[in-house]
């Protein structure tokens, strides 16, 4: 597990990257980054999403970034092209700070694997 300083530096680097390349309104946060990952993984490009689709995009992103840790497995696409995952291992019960750290590490890993960090 990465030390807190290294994690914070990488997180700030990622937030700058998102800010520079996507120019979101407001401050870059974990939910916004997960939304972008969900859109990327869906692969249908930029469009308006309904409220329930936005929730599904966040779910896709969470499954995708936690997949390398063995929590989820990609099962395939449905008839509408939406990815589906199977839960392999129950997520650990974490305190809010620990959960945030885990998600930040997973998101950073995702962007590193894509060669963007």
Domain limits, the chain = 4-113
CA-based R_g, the chain, Å: 14
Collapsing DSSP states into helix, strand and coil, what is residue 48?
coil
* d(C-alpha 11, C-alpha 15), whole Å: 6
Q: Are 27 and 19 in contact (CB under 8 A)?
A: no
Structure tokens at 91: 């997520």
Beta bridge partners of 84: 76
Report d(CA 24, CA 14) in Å as an integer: 13
pTM: 0.88
- Each residue's pLDDT tens digit, 51-108: 999 999 999 999 999 999 999 999 999 999 999 999 999 998 989 889 999 999 999 9
């Amino acid at each position: 597990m990465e030390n807190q300083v290294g994690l914070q530096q990488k997180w700030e680097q990622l937030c700058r990257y998102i800010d520079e390349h996507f120019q979101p309104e407001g401050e870059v946060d974990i939910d916004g980054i997960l939304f972008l990952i969900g859109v990327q993984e869906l692969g249908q490009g930029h469009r308006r999403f309904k409220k329930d689709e936005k929730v599904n995009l966040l779910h896709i992103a969470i499954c995708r970034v936690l997949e390398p840790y063995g929590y989820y497995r990609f099962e395939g696409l449905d008839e509408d092209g939406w990815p589906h995952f199977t839960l392999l291992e129950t997520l650990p019960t974490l305190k809010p700070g620990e959960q945030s750290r885990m998600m930040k590490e997973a998101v950073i890993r995702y962007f590193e694997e894509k060669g963007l960090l």
